[in-house]
Amino acid sequence: MAPPAPASGEALQQVIDRLWETVPPLWNHIRANVRGIASECFEMSVPQFRILRHIGSGVGSASALAALTQTSAPAVSQCVDALVEKGLITRRQSEQDRRCVDLALTPDGADVLGVIFAENRLWMEHKLASLNPEEMGHILRGLAALKDAFLT
């Protein structure tokens, strides 16, 4: 059996249009929920949450955070100060280069991120609970196809 022909023409344009109509607003809605949880439950500003999340994913210096978030060094430093004061991250002088400071999550910081993402997962489960198994299967196949098309 021959593989299916690649999409073209009007069908391809409809898929592209639907992607633009769906993916950015959906992602923005999910991000807003995560940020709302951080703000409401942990009195954390959006910039503080972004910094905490990036430190949690392994970014360990203020200069790397500034570049990644496209934020000024003083703004990053202000967020880092607030997160250190809340006990969510630590700041230590680098053993390799005494001019550098290493940033890391504290156990409390890891717990806060865990709670935020767990609450968001529960919210997403609630949103998706109305879908039937057939719809879930369609979504899973569609997401797999998108991942193959864009990420492989």
pLDDT at 2 over 90: no
Is residue 55 over pLDDT 80?
yes
- pLDDT higher than 80, residue 5: no
Confidence grade of residue 118 (pLDDT, cut at 50, 70, 90): very high
pLDDT score at 119:
97
- Looking at per-residue pLDDT, the higher value among 55 and 95 belongs to 55
Full-model pTM: 0.81
Fold of 23-128: Arc Repressor Mutant, subunit A (1.10.10)
Quick: pLDDT tens for 83-100.
999 999 999 887 777 778
- What residue ranges do the domains of the chain occupy? 23-128
SS (H, E, C) the chain: CCCCCCCCHHHHHHHHHHHHHHHHHHHHHHHHHHHHHHHHHHCCCHHHHHHHHHHHCCCCCHHHHHHHHCCCHHHHHHHHHHHHHCCCEEEEECCCCCCCEEEEECHHHHHHHHHHHHHHHHHHHHHHCCCCHHHHHHHHHHHHHHHHHHHC
